[in-house]
Amino acid sequence: QHLTTIMIIILRIVRSHSLRYFTTGVSRPGPGVSEFTSVGYVDDVQFVRFDGDGRRGRAEPRTPWIRDNEGREYWDQETEIFRSGAQNFHVGLQNIMGYYNQSEERSHTVQGLYGCQLREDNTPGEGFMQFGYDGRDYIALDKATLSWTVADAGALNTKSKWEADGTIAERYKAYLEDECIEWLRRYMGFGGPCLTRADPPKVDVIRHPGPDGEDVSLRCRAFGFYPADIKFMWRREGEDVSLQMELVDTRPSGDGNFQKWASVSVPRGEELKYVCVVEHEGLAQPLAVKWVPDTSLSNKATVGVMIVILLIPVAVVGFVIWKRSGRREEMEWSCEGGKGREVWV
């Protein structure tokens, strides 16, 4: 996770476009887990996925724009590439387990993260290629020097083998600087507005009672935004208190957009002193949102009953409209649903 976070931050220094692959091999996959999984992303959009091993599984489209623009030959080729990668990962995983004198009694995992980027002016940016083992950094390519950076003594074995070949680093560099860029440009042409859009977040603040009865939690929620890069800040009467906030990872919302929240603990009765500030590419300026007390609870019960009765026919009509709207959204949802060269020696 540390490895992934660093790379995503690097890619988002400017609004560039990226092609990334996240690949995982497991020595003893459990129920519902594949021996080998590889997922491809253009920017924040998953467009291809493979689950299987060296003999089974097929590359599958994850967005309409890749499904509608690539034919059977492409998917057959992708499948063979991923199956070859599965075989290489399997061999590499067995080798690494040997380097650490580990048995097959428990499951072990090797992960790959690699890709390239295009800057705003359409020139190639930084490419990267790195691997992890059992959730820790293992080995990474230094593209500038064509050398390998290792995390510990066990990874020195892989470094020695790859440097003894003399061509592996060169092949990786060529892929990152040429082939990867070509495919990224091709996919950008397919994705079009789906990949260049900037949908602003909807933001609200919700109050949750604290466990001790003294403090309460204010949760600032942002949802429906794209791209995934977003910034939260909590302020108390103008003072930045963001160091006190709890921030969750950005998550897909299932409709091609993203969601995220940041909460802060505040003294009861001081909720209105706090403001959540959200920054996103889709916003012309930072959005400041406060918690709004719910005054509806003071209404009499009889008034509430009357409102419910009056809303029944409205709800029926609204349900019909919602169903039609859902079908329209599904038809318009065209933004959701490469070429990996893994070598282990």
- Cβ atoms of residues 209 and 200 within 8 Å: no
Q: Look over the chain and give the mean of its residue pLDDT values, rounded to a whole number.
A: 84
327 by Cβ neighbours in 10 Å (0-12 / 13-18 / 19+) ranks as exposed
Q: What is the pLDDT of residues 305-329, one digit of tens each?
A: 333 333 444 443 344 334 334 433 3
Q: Higher model confidence: residue 6 or residue 183?
A: 183
Per-residue confidence at 335, pLDDT binned at 50, 70, 90? low
- The tens digit of pLDDT for each residue in 72-84 reads 999 999 999 999 9
Walk me through the domains of the chain, giving residue ranges and CATH numbers: 17-196 (3.30.500.10), 202-290 (2.60.40.10)
Instruction: State the amino acid at position 114 in one-letter form.
Output: Y
Is the four-CA dihedral 108, 60, 43, 201 of positive or negative sign?
negative
pLDDT tens digits, 212-267:
667 899 999 999 999 999 999 999 999 999 999 999 999 998 888 999 999 999 99
pLDDT in tens, 131-173: 999 999 999 999 999 999 999 999 999 999 999 988 999 999 9
Give the model confidence (pLDDT) of 166-220 as tens digits: 899 999 999 999 999 999 999 999 999 999 999 999 999 999 987 766 789 999 9
Of the listed ranges 20-29, 38-47, 294-303, the one predicted with least confidence: 294-303
Q: Quick one: pLDDT band at residue 58, thresholds 50, 70, 90?
A: very high
Percent of the chain with pLDDT over 90: 71
Residue by residue, what is the 3-state secondary structure of the chain? CHHHHHHHHHHCCCCCEEEEEEEEEECCCCCCCCCEEEEEEECCEEEEEEEECCCCCCCEECCHHHHCCCCHHHHHHHHHHHHHHHHHHHHHHHHHHHHCCCCCCCCCEEEEEEEEEECCCCCECCCEEEEEECCEEEEEEECCCCEEEECCCCHHHHHHHHHHHCCHHHHHHHHHHHHHHHHHHHHHHHHCHHHHCCECCEEEEEEEECCCCCEEEEEEEEEEEECCCCEEEEEECCEECHHHCEECCCEECCCCCEEEEEEEEEECCCHHHEEEEEECCCCCCCEEECCCCCCHHHCCHHHHHHHHHHHHHHHHHHHHHHHHHHHHHHHHCCCCCCCCCCCCC
